[in-house]
Amino acid sequence: MSKLTDTLRNVWKIEELRKRILFTAVMLLIVRVGSFVTVPGINLDALKSAAASRTGGLFGLLDMFTGGAYANAAIFALGIMPYISASIILQLLGAVVPYFQKLQQEGEEGRKQINTYTRYFTVLLAFAQGIAIAISLQSTDAGGGTAVVAPVIGGMAFTIMAATIFTAGTMFLMWIGEQITEKGIGNGISLIIFIGIIARFPQAIIEEYQLVATRNVIVELIIIAGLIAIIAMVVMFTQAVRKIPVQYAKRIAGNKAYGGQTSFIPITLTTANVMPIIFASSIMFIPNSITQYFPDTSLSLFLQRNFKHDDPLYSIVLAVMIIFFTFFYTAIVFNPRDVAENMRKNGGFVPGVRPGKPTEEYIDNILTKVTVPGSLFLALIAILPVFASNLGVGAHFSSFFGGTSLLIIVGVALDTLKQIESYLLMRHYDGFMKSGKLRGRLGRQQIGTVQQ
C-alpha cells in the first residue's frame, strides 16, 4: 500500500504529467455534464418513464456507451459511436478498396486524407442516427404523456433541430477526444467511452445493494467474488502474449558491425481486441432496431417472439458471429505475408525457419493457434452478462460481468496506466508494478517495429 501511495505522490510531482491528468479530468467532466443537458422540447418525466421500460437491446447498448445521455435525450445522446463506426468502415474499405489501400500506404498525407473522409462520414452517420432518434422520441408514449412537448415544437422542425444538435454534440465529443490525446493522458476517444461506462457503475452498485434484502448475503459475496475473478481473467487474457523470436543478421559497414540483435514478434490472444464484439453486436441489434422503429409489422412481431436479448438462441448466434469476426478482423490487422516480407528486407529471420514463404506459413500457423482460444474467450465474455442476468444479478450490475463494457474498461485502464508509467520511468521513478513495467497490449507497437 505504501508503494502505491509513493507512486501516486510521484505522479503528482511531475509537472507535465500533473497538467495532463488535470486537463483530461476537466475534459471528461465536460463530457459528463453534457450527458445531462437535454435538447429543447423534451418532456423529461415522460422520457424517464418510457426509458424505465426500455432496458436492454439497442437502447441499452447506446445508453451504456453514452453514459446515460441517450436515455436523457441529451446533446451527447449519440456519444462518440458515429465516429467509431465511420473509422471502422473506412478501415474495412482500406482492406478491399484499392483507392483507400493506396491512401494507407502514402504515410502521413494519406492518413490526413483518411481522417478527413472519416470526419465527413461521421457527420453523415450522426445526422442520420439523429433523425432516427428524433422520430423515435416523437413516437415515445408513457402513461399518456409524450416525450416531445406539443405544441411547442414537433414534427419536422423538431426532427431537424434535434438531429442537428445531436450531430454537433458528436463532433464536439470528437474534438474533445482529440484534445485529450494531444494534451492529456491516454487515448481521448477510448476514455470518453470509458467514462460513459464507468458512470453507470454507482447505479449498478445501488441496484445490487437493494437486492441483498431479497437474497442471502453469502450469495451476494459469491457474486462479487465471481466478478473479481472474471476481471482477473480478462486482464490475464488481455496481457497474454505469444512471442515469436526474430534474429537480425550482422552487417559490416566499414569498421563497424550493425545488426545482430534479437527481437520478437508479440502475438496477443486478443489481436482483434473488442472489435469482433462490436461488429457482431451491431449486426445482432438489427432485429431490435426493426422492432423499435417498425413496431406494428409482422416481421417485428416475429422477432419479438423468437429473438429476445436474453434468449439462449440469441447468445449462441452472437457467440458464433464473434468467433467468425475474430478471425476476419485478425486477418485484416495482421498480415503474416507483410510481416515476413519486411523481416526479409531488413535481414531478419526466425531461428530454424527459412525466410520468405516458410516464415509466412510459420507465423500464420501460430497466429491461427493463438486466435482460436482468443475467439472462444471473446465469445464467452460477450455472453456472460446474459447468463449473469438470468441467474438473478441486477440488470445494470450484470453488464460489468463481461461483454464490450468490461473489455473496454480493462483495455483503456491498462493503456492509460502504461502511459502514466512511461512518464514515471523517464523521470527514474518506480512504476505501479514491482517489475517497473506494465506488460501486454504492446503487440501493434512491436509489430510496427518489425515491419519497419
Q: Of 365, 371, 282, which Cα lies nearest the Cα of 326?
A: 371
- Taking phi first (over 0 means left), then psi (-120 to 50 degrees means alpha), and beta for anything else, what does residue 393 get? beta
Task: Per-residue pLDDT tens, the chain, 452 aa: give them.
Answer: 566 677 777 778 888 888 999 999 999 999 999 988 888 887 777 777 666 555 555 566 677 777 778 878 889 988 888 888 888 888 778 778 888 888 877 778 888 888 899 999 999 999 988 888 888 777 766 555 566 765 455 578 888 888 999 999 999 999 999 999 999 988 888 899 889 888 888 888 887 777 777 777 788 888 888 889 988 888 888 888 888 888 877 666 566 655 567 788 888 888 877 778 777 776 776 676 666 666 677 777 777 766 666 677 778 888 888 898 888 888 878 888 888 888 888 778 888 888 888 888 999 999 999 999 989 988 888 888 878 877 777 777 887 887 778 888 888 888 888 888 888 877 766 555 554 455 544 333 333 333 33
259 - beta bridge partners? 250
Radius of gyration of the chain measured on its C-alpha atoms? 24
Cis peptide leading into residue 151 (ω within 30°): yes
Adjacent-strand bridge partners of 42:
148
Is 84:103 a contact under the CB 8 Å cutoff? Answer: no
pTM of the model: 0.77
Residue 243: Cβ within 10 Å count = 12
Q: Which amino acid is at 55?
A: T
Q: Which cell goes with 142?
A: 408513457
Side chain identity at residue 58, one-letter code = L
C-alpha cell at 350: 526466425
DSSP letter string, 366-399: HHHHHHHHHHHHHHHHHHHHHHHHHTT--HHHHG
Q: Closest by alpha carbon to 126, among 166, 174, 94?
A: 166
What digits encode the pLDDT tens for the residues 377-400?
888 888 888 788 777 777 778 878
Q: Say what the pLDDT of residue 295 is.
A: 65
Dist CA 338 CA 64 (whole Å): 38
141: helix, strand or coil: strand
In terms of Cα–Cα distance, which of 347, 373, 371 is closest to 359? 347
pLDDT digits (tens, 9 = 90+) for 413-435: 888 888 888 888 777 665 555 54
CA 417/CA 422 separation, integer angstroms: 9
Closest C-alpha among 339, 327, 337 to residue 244? 339
Angle ∠(157,54,404) on CA atoms, nearest 5: 105
pLDDT of residue 443: 39
Domains recognised in the chain with CATH numbers: 15-199 (1.10.3370.10), 201-452 (1.10.3370.10)
Which pLDDT belongs to residue 452?
37
Amino acid occupying residue 236: M
Residue 199 has what DSSP assignment? T
Averaged pLDDT of the chain: 79
Element containing residue 137 per DSSP (H, E): helix 107-139
For residue 119, the model assigns a pLDDT of 92
Q: Which amino acid would we find at residue 30?
A: I
> Which cell numbers hold the place of 255?
569498421
pLDDT, tens digit (0-9, with 9 covering 90-100), for 44-76 = 777 776 665 555 555 666 777 777 788 788 899
What's the pLDDT at 254? 60
Determine contact, residues 50/140, Cβ cutoff 8 Å: yes
Give the 3-state secondary structure of residue 268.
strand
| DSSP-derived 3-state class of residue 247 | strand
Residues 6+ apart with CB under 8 A from 73: 38, 39, 42, 47, 133, 137, 147, 162
